[in-house]
Amino acid sequence: MTVFGMVSAVAGFIKVRYLIDKAMIDNMVFRAHYRITSAILFLCCIIVTANNLIGDPIQCINDRGVPGHVINTYCWITYTFTLPHEQGKYIGTEVAHPGLGNQNQDRRYHSYYQWVPFVLFFQGVLFYIPHWIWKNWEQGKIRMVTDGLRGSLVGVGEKPEREHRQNRLVQYLIETMHLHNSYAFGYFACEALNFINVMVNIFMTDKFLGGAFLTYGTDVVSFSNMNQENRTDPMVAVFPRVTKCTFHKYGPSGSIQTHDALCILALNILNEKIYIFLWFWFIILALLSGLAIVYSAAVVMLPNTRETILKRRFRLNTPNAVETIIRKTQVGDFLLIHLLGQNTNQLVFGEILEEYVRRLSFGSNSNLPSAPSTLEMSPIYPEIEKFKETDA
């Protein structure tokens, strides 16, 4: 498969889906984890395995005592090394390349380049797991209860059919009131898992790169502001372009011969760019995820927060409508209502909330239109019974 074909396959993670096609069961920060971040990591995995972009990932030169293809294969499957004490010296006068010189000193071994594609793919899977858990926990509830009501064009067609669907939805909300707390718990738990996941990935990447990732971004920014003549590129220290490799073999008389080789790691020109981007992306994602958790904590613990959210998003005609909703519902009910608002346009959702408030305020003894019968609610009633059993 060509690189373009593989990239096209990854594009499915971030393609825009219309509301009428797929229900939204999470928020933008949640989607940034499993759609954008997973797509980025899978795309980076494809790039570093596409040898046609850079040619051979490693090329070594030696004294011709070892065939070229042998030394290349050996250094790739074992490791290469640099000399940390030789970093920062003038190239061409003091050292031939950064990190190379006399071998009688401490060495820094590099073998991560063998594992970069596998680690990137594994990280992409990790960022998708919380969504997979939440999707299985959610079990298509939002998709089922908003069937026929999703999409921006809903509400401009047949009014009787729309009102019938809205009445069925309100009936579902009334009959399952206070039965959605376990549903909300699953959502908030997966949201917390997103934050834990991004932090684990930051420290896992730091461990993978030998402790250089935590300060990698700040080091690169500082490097770009230094004087051109006196600066040492931190990307070269972490992802060296030229390294050394030692090969031992038996000579004609049976004595052990040592062959030094200089190896050009062309793949590192891609790795250094990938990881500087991931550093900034992971930091931004961690901050957004932390703010999302604070927001969710406020929603759970502070009813005033839930009231403010509804008031700012929807202006209802019924007096004290929002106060009635907040007073008579729990967190699980609020989350379900909030997700319904994401999946219906403002006109439809406003009508649903108005009807919902009237039924909360007056109950079944009001002069409201009769609620749908059990037979009319049959597509939704199995879900009601299932969630009753779950919460029982």
| Residues 35-78: tens digit of each pLDDT | 999 999 999 998 888 765 666 788 888 877 788 788 888 888 88
Report whether pLDDT(287) > 90: yes
Closest C-alpha among 391, 291, 296, 380 to residue 338: 296
pLDDT of residue 382: 46
Of 211 and 312, the structure prediction assigns the larger pLDDT to: 211
Residues 6+ apart with CB under 8 A from 29: 194, 288, 289, 291, 292
pLDDT band per the 50, 70, 90 thresholds, residue 34: very high
DSSP H or E segment with residue 245 = strand 242-250
What CA–CA distance (Å, rounded) separates 344 from 56?
Answer: 52
Q: CA 144 → CA 1, 26, 139, 168, distances in Å? A: 38, 16, 9, 12
What CA–CA distance (Å, rounded) separates 348 from 358?
Answer: 16
Mean pLDDT, residues 298-323 taken together? 77
Closest C-alpha among 97, 90, 86, 51 to residue 72: 51
| Residues 122-168: tens digit of each pLDDT | 999 999 999 999 999 998 898 888 887 776 555 555 567 777 888 88
What CA–CA distance (Å, rounded) separates 300 from 309?
Answer: 13
Mean pLDDT, residues 284-300 taken together? 94
pLDDT of residue 51: 64
0.85 exceeded by the pTM?
A: no
Mean pLDDT, residues 351-366 taken together? 75
- Top mean pLDDT of 179-183, 262-266, 344-348 is at 179-183
**Could you give the angle at the alpha carbon of 144 between the alpha carbons of 138 and 148, nearest 5°?**
145
What CA–CA distance (Å, rounded) separates 177 from 166?
Answer: 16
pLDDT of residue 85: 67
Residue 251: burial class (beta carbons within 10 Å; 0-12, 13-18, 19+):
exposed
Report whether pLDDT(197) > 70: yes
pLDDT band per the 50, 70, 90 thresholds, residue 221: confident
pLDDT band per the 50, 70, 90 thresholds, residue 112: confident
What CA–CA distance (Å, rounded) separates 149 from 154?
Answer: 6
- Residue 80, helix vs strand vs coil: strand
- Record the tokens describing residue 138, joined without a space: 């959610």
| Residues 199-217: tens digit of each pLDDT | 999 999 999 988 888 888 8
pLDDT band per the 50, 70, 90 thresholds, residue 16: very low
pLDDT band per the 50, 70, 90 thresholds, residue 241: confident
Count how many Cα atoms sit within 13 Å of the Cα of residue 29 in the half-sphere of its side chain.
23
**Alpha-helical segments (H) within the chain:** 3-10, 28-31, 38-49, 68-77, 116-138, 141-145, 159-175, 181-208, 216-224, 234-238, 268-301, 303-313, 321-328, 331-343, 346-362, 381-391
User: What percent of the chain clears pLDDT 70, i.e. is strictly above it?
Assistant: 75
Report whether pLDDT(367) > 60: no
pLDDT of residue 378: 41
Strand partners, 60: 263
Count how many Cα atoms sit within 13 Å of the Cα of residue 337 in the half-sphere of its side chain.
32
Of 334 and 229, the structure prediction assigns the larger pLDDT to: 334
Helix axes 268-301, 216-224, angle to 10 degrees: 120
Report whether pLDDT(390) > 80: no
Lowest mean pLDDT among 146-155, 251-260, 317-326: 146-155
